[in-house]
Amino acid sequence: MTSNAPSPVGGAADRLAAVVALRELLERLEDAAVEGALRDGWTWPQIAEALGLTRQAVHKKHIKRLEHAGIDLRRRRG
Amino acid sequence: MADTTDLPDDLRQIVIAAIDQAAARNSSSAEAEDLLLAIAASRSPAAGVLASAGLGHAGILGLLRAERERSLAALGIPPIGPEQLRATPRAARPTWGASLRAALLRARQPGARGRARRRLTTANVAAGVLLASYGTVPRALAYGGIDRGALIGQLREVTR
């Protein structure tokens, strides 16, 4: 907090904070979008292809969270 | 510091509560703002100091939300409705984030060892959070018109 230190708001600080906010938003959007797609009947391979990721990566990231979400995951070939 | 074993009992509970705060925000890591939320929700003298500046738990949540909205607005991204972000919470417990670790390190008196380390108080940790120069907490407080320096001084008075 010295006088010649950059401010935490404005300029570069705002651009860096935007990265943090976007990263957080991206994670939340992905969680919601993957869950919504599964509820709409999408399969893991379909979701992975739409996200441009491998099925294994998407499955590994979300399966624990969604195991008890009331979605029938047995038909999803996950 | 990788765990809470070298913290006094009350601070161990604060860190666990901070991880709970992060989980409630569905965040994968507990950060300095979660420590501040946990302290604000505690029954400690530090919580009283924070509340006197308008930093009760709800007040802090409001400032954090406003900071995120302003940061996204700078890119032209409007606030996104909660229905678009609704998701089942993550199963894994949030990990200790870099800013939480940094706040705990700043909370320690320089050169403190042994018994002095264990005398660390909640007010020390609150000051450690507020001493950050950059990141979410200083931005949220700046936008909220909170005088960080004055608050740090009041928290240090509590620890005397």
Cα distance between residue B99 and residue B48, in whole Å: 23
The per-residue pLDDT string of chain B (160 residues; one tens digit each, 9 = 90 and over) reads 456 667 888 899 999 999 999 999 889 999 999 999 999 999 999 999 999 999 999 999 999 999 999 999 999 999 999 889 999 988 889 999 999 999 999 998 665 556 555 578 999 999 999 999 999 999 999 999 999 999 999 999 987 6
Contact B155, B49 (CB under 8 A): yes
Query: Identity (one letter) of the amino acid at A11?
Result: G
Distance from the A17 Cα atom to the nearest Cα atom in chain B, whole angstroms: 6
Query: SS3 letters for B64-105?
Result: HHHHHHHHHHCCCCCCCCHHHCCCCCCCCCCEECHHHHHHHH
Helix and strand element counts for chain A (H, E):
3, 0
Tell me the chain A residues in contact with residue B67 when contact means C-beta distances shorter than 8 Å.
Answer: 17
Contact A54, A48 (CB under 8 A): yes
Given a cut of 60, whether residue A56 has pLDDT beyond it is yes
Residue ranges covered by each domain of chain B: 9-79+115-159
Contact A73, A39 (CB under 8 A): no
Q: Cβ contact (<8 Å) for A24 and B136?
A: no
Out of A18, A27, A65, name the one closest to residue B72 (CB).
Answer: A18
CA dihedral (B105, B108, B110, B114) positive or negative? negative
Compute φ and ψ for B81, nearest 5 degrees.
-65, 145
At A4, the pLDDT band (50, 70, 90 cuts) reads confident
Tell me the chain A residues in contact with residue B74 when contact means C-beta distances shorter than 8 Å.
Answer: 14-15, 17-18
Pick among A65, A66, A67, A71 to test the B interface (most B CBs inside 10 A): A65
Out of A25, A32, A67, name the one closest to residue B72 (CB).
Answer: A25
Which of B82, B93, B121 minimizes the C-alpha distance to B18?
A: B93
CB within 8 Å of B37: residues ≥ 6 apart? B18, B21, B57, B60, B61
CB within 8 Å of B95: residues ≥ 6 apart? B28, B29, B30
Is B9-79+115-159 a CATH 1.10.1780 domain? yes
Tell me the chain B residues in contact with residue A1 when contact means C-beta distances shorter than 8 Å.
Answer: 131, 133, 148-149
Residues of A with CB under 8 A from a CB of B: 1, 5-9, 13-18, 20-22, 24-25, 27-29, 31-32, 35, 64-69
Cα distance between residue A70 and residue B7, in whole Å: 39
Pick among B26, B64, B69, B88 to test the A interface (most A CBs inside 10 A): B88
Residue ranges covered by each domain of chain A: 30-78
Q: Cβ contact (<8 Å) for A9 and B142?
A: yes
